[in-house]
Structure 1
Amino acid sequence: MDVIFWEWLSFFVRWTHVMAGVAWIGSSFYFVHLDLSLKRRASLPPQAYGDEWQVHGGGFYHMVKYLVAPPQLPEHVTWFKWEAYATWLSGFALLVIVYYLGARLYMIDPAVLDIDPATAVAASLGGLFLGWFIYNVFCESDLARSDLKLALAGFAMIVAFALIYSFVFSGRGAFMQVGAIMGTIMAANVFMVIIPNQRKVVAALKAGETPDPTLGAKGKQRSLHNNYLTLPVVFVMIGNHYPLAFATRYSWIILALVIVMGVAIRHFFNTQHKGGPAPWWTWGVTALCGLAIMALSSFGPKPVRAAAASAGPTTELAENAEIVIQSRCAMCHAEQPAWPGVGVAPKGVKLETFAEIETHASGLRTVAVLTHSMPPGNITEMTQDERDTLRAWLDSLR
């Protein structure tokens, strides 16, 4: 029952994370599109920066933007913040449920760095805080005067984190850690800068004062950063299901190239929304990065020092379970998969030794006992008696 509870809890939190992320990404894409497509017209109200006519859902919308604020606020104003907060909170909850509580399985690789779960969690939390702190220092420094210099500094910081964590966590753990750092930066931009600045503008208006125009400018800059980080973060969200992305020798370079791809794609659409000449070169950059990623993933996993030898099965149940796994699963879940068309172990799960089988015991219960999702389509013809053997061994571990 514990396995079922945690599996469904993880599923529901992940679903919440995806729903909130869709809402946040949608509003980010929409408002950047709207902001870049605004037109200045003589008929605009006083202090208005630009407007845009849009059609959707059978009706017309007239959108007007004030660069600082209108002379008077209406009775009701919609604040776009809960999408960001819900995305980060559900993402952090998922990080705790899957990675922190399962640190031995998903974060720690003794062949990379043999640390205990508490140390791994501390290293992860420290990275989330440090990533935001360094990024915010960049944004408050002279670098912020140049969007290009600020972007390059932020890019270098993220790549540095990817490289550092590749020597601390497993490939999957390092990949998700960097994604969490980017997601934290995005949510903190909303919570620490964009919304507080908007509140300061509202407070100034209510006090009969002229709002500081730099507040809106800073908020807009942070919002644009979020827009460009969106696609790389989405890639990391789905990339943990693809070992070629995270479990290969140059995964940190792959992540750097993914960021370049995401930025290039957003730059194309942002430029299109602005009405400028289409930067078709961005698709060439995207294609080249994609080809480079494929080439880098072909080098296979990075060489690591051998892990300490572990004891083999000590009971007849364990021996029988190992025989089942070796004969029905290990041809795919191996360092060098023997099954045609399988280049790397699915999800990075290897089941060649009894120690590896023990490590993934909880997952085996889910995919081979509680459900029959593995082997896929029962392609290796695992029998019910063999599944019962696995169940008996797994029950003995409780």
Structure 2
Amino acid sequence: MYDFAVMWDWLAFGVRWLHVITGIAWIGSSFYFIALDLGLRQAPGMPKGAYGEEWEVHGGGFYHTTKYLVAPDRLPEHLTWHKWQAYWTWISGAALLAIVYWAGSELYLIDPARADLAPWQAIALSAAFLAGGWIGYDALCRSPLKSNATAVMLVLFAGIVASSWLLNQVFTGRAALLHLGAMTATIMSGNVFFVIMPNQRIVVADLKAGRTPDAKYGQIAKLRSTHNNYLTLPVLFLMLSNHYPLAFGTDAAWIIAALVFLMGVSIRHYFNTLHSTGQGPAWTWLATGLIFVAIAWLSTARMFDGDYETLDTALLTPAETRFAAAPGFEAAANVVAGRCSMCHAREPNWDGMLWAPKGVHLEVPADIARHAREIYLQAGVSHAMPPANLTGITPAERAILRDWYRSVGTEMAAN
């Protein structure tokens, strides 16, 4: 029978799968409509009120799309609303954040060397960052600066840089970058839920009531949609960053995250210009390449070690202390030391490896107790670690890891 740790990991996997699927749907529709909008052309014989049209071919058929800046004279009964992709991407992302980072706050969220927080404090700060990001952004878009698109983007970028620095002072490196991405994704979802959809509903209601809709509602929705378009690529990078210690495991991680936003803007600018004029500016590739090289260089900055080299079991949380004091801990620690720690070290002893995989250190007893659940799932229950069993861990040693973890009790699995 599956124990709680295995079931919890499968729950995380299932929710992550849903998040990726809905994210693909949302990002795909966003990219499509931006390209469609920029590719519209004037043509003779277009209906009254039409702004432009585009002909497309796909799947063996032809599609003729016409855009109205406000609305057509006649609104058909069947109207497709593109909203659920955004809603479910945020809902599944928030669920995944709770499953992985909130339930596992002592492992994934809290870094005692940066901020010695209680789990409830870390979770409260996590939620506050998400909400605060949206509130600040929305206030900016409603401020006197709203008529100056460049000023809005510059202030937004300054806020992103400040948030990146602050998150890296509070949370673990991987949690900091992921939260910056989640905060930005919350802004994007908030644009859909609080601005774009309500404005579209006003236009539809006016049209059905025989009133002429105000064009300002469509213009506001279009501005927010454009912001979403430019924020998409940085969010994707930040969501993937937790798999790459070179992105989150250095003192310069907050700078790397900020530069990613510039890189995302340059890439989107190229494609948006390409869709609009038929030719994208070549300088954007040079700019993107230089920023990427700068990011790669920054990734070799000193890893954030804090006081980890002097950690001992006295600094563990009560939950982690139970694993350190559990029967079989010494035997399990010996297995880890012989089969895992050569790579999972602050200075890995494996040719070509600069940093520990995923930033996980397994050198001292405190490290092993802190990562008990990961050891159990990766090397005890499954054969994911060591990769290709390069260090030759035996079935008996895997059993030692399983027995040690299970001796504590399944109620600790989510910690």
TM-score (norm. length: structure 1): 0.97
Aligned residue for 1:196? 198
Cα distance in 2 between the residues matched to 1:396 and 1:284? 56
Cross-structure match for 1:396: 407
Counterpart for residue 332 of structure 1: 343
Deviation per residue, 1:197-250 (Å, 9 max, x gap): 000001111221111111000100111111111111111121110011011110
Q: What code does the residue aligned with 1:163 have?
A: W
In the alignment, which residue of structure 1 is the partner of 2:84?
A: 82
The separation in 2 between residues aligned to 1:108 and 1:316, in whole angstroms, is: 26
In structure 2, distance between residues paired with 1:258 and 1:308:
33
1:259 to 261, 265, 269: 261
Cα contact 1:183–1:233 (8 A) shared by 2: yes
Is the CA contact 2:361–2:367 (under 8 Å) kept in the aligned structure 1? yes
Distance in 2 of aligned mates of 1:305 and 1:389:
29
In the other structure, the counterpart of 2:391 is 380
Distance 1:285 1:295 in 2: 15
Structure 1 partner of 2:226: 224
Q: Please report how far the alpha carbon of residue 153 of structure 1 lies from its aligned counterpart in structure 2 after TM superposition.
A: 1.2
Report what 1:185 is aligned to: 187
Q: Which amino acid aligns with 1:241?
A: H
How far 1:71 moved relative to its partner?
1.3
Q: Which moved more, 1:300-309 or 1:268-277?
A: 300-309
Separation in 2 of the partners of 1:120 and 1:373? Answer: 30
* C-alpha contact (below 8 Å) 2:312/2:364 kept by paired residues: no
Structure 1, 265-274 or 36-45: larger mean CA deviation:
36-45
Residue-by-residue CA offset, 1:340-363 (whole Å, 9 max, x unaligned):
111111111111111111111111
Aligned counterparts of 1:305 and 1:329: Cα–Cα separation in 2: 21
Which among 332, 354, 360 is matched to residue 371 of structure 2?
Answer: 360
Superposition deviation, residue 315 in structure 1: 6.4
Of 73, 76, 95 in structure 1, the residue corresponding to residue 75 of structure 2 is: 73
Task: Tell me what 2:120 maps to.
Answer: 118
Whether the 8 Å contact between 2:266 and 2:287 is mirrored in structure 1 is yes
Which whole-Å CA distance do the structure 1 matches of 2:404 and 2:173 have between them? Answer: 29
Match of 1:211 among 204, 210, 213: 213
Deviations 1:64-112 (A, max 9, x none): 0000111121111000000000100000000000001000011101011
**2 CA distance for matches of 1:235 and 1:334?**
26
**Structure 1 equivalent of residue 317 of structure 2:** none
Map 1:1-398 to 2 at 5 A. Answer: 1-275=3-277, 277-302=279-304, 304-305=306-307, 309-311=312-314, 314=325, 317-398=328-409
Structure 1 window deviating more from structure 2 (146-155 vs 74-83): it is 146-155
SS in 1 for 2:63: strand
Counterpart CA distance in 2 for 1:64 and 1:316 is 70
Check whether the contact 1:17–1:86 (CA below 8 A) recurs between aligned residues.
yes
CA contact 1:112–1:305 (8 Å) conserved in 2: no
**Cα deviation code 1:277-309 (max 9, x no counterpart):** 421111111111111011111112135246663
User: In the TM superposition, what is the alpha-carbon distance from 1:144 to its structure 2 partner?
Assistant: 2.0
Deviates more, 1:237-246 or 1:14-23: 237-246
Conserved 8 A contact 1:250-1:302: no
- Indicate the RMSD between aligned Cα atoms, in angstroms: 1.4
Deviation at 1:143, TM superposition (A): 1.9
Mapped partners of 2:271, 2:49: distance in 1: 28
d(CA) in 1 for partners of 2:406, 2:289: 49
Letter in 1 for 2:388: G
Please, which runs of 5 or more residues in structure 1 have no aligned partner?
A: none
Determine the C-alpha separation between the residues in 2 that align with 1:118 and 1:303: 24
Tell me the TM-score normalized by structure 2: 0.93
Counting aligned pairs with the same residue, the percent is 52
Residues 121-178 of structure 1 show CA distances to partners (whole Å, capped at 9, x for unaligned) of 1101111111001101111122221222111111111111110111111101111111
Mark the CA change 1:344 to 1:190 in structure 2 (over 3 Å): closer, same or farther. same
- Report the 3-state secondary structure (helix = DSSP H, G, I; strand = E; otherwise coil) of the residue aligned with 1:166: helix
Distance 1:4 1:309, change over 3 A: closer
Cα distance in 2 for partners of 1:106, 1:64 equals 49
Q: Which amino acid aligns with 1:346?
A: P
| Equivalent position amino acid for 1:77 in 2 | L
Q: Is the 8 A contact 2:348 2:356 kept in 1?
A: yes
Aligned length: 398
Partner Cα separation in structure 2 for residue 169 and residue 73 of structure 1: 50
The farther-off stretch of 1-10 and 136-145 is 136-145
Distance 1:196 1:316, change over 3 A: closer
How far apart are the structure 1 equivalents of 2:158 and 2:168? 15
Letter in 2 for 1:19: I
The separation in 1 between residues aligned to 2:82 and 2:302, in whole angstroms, is: 43
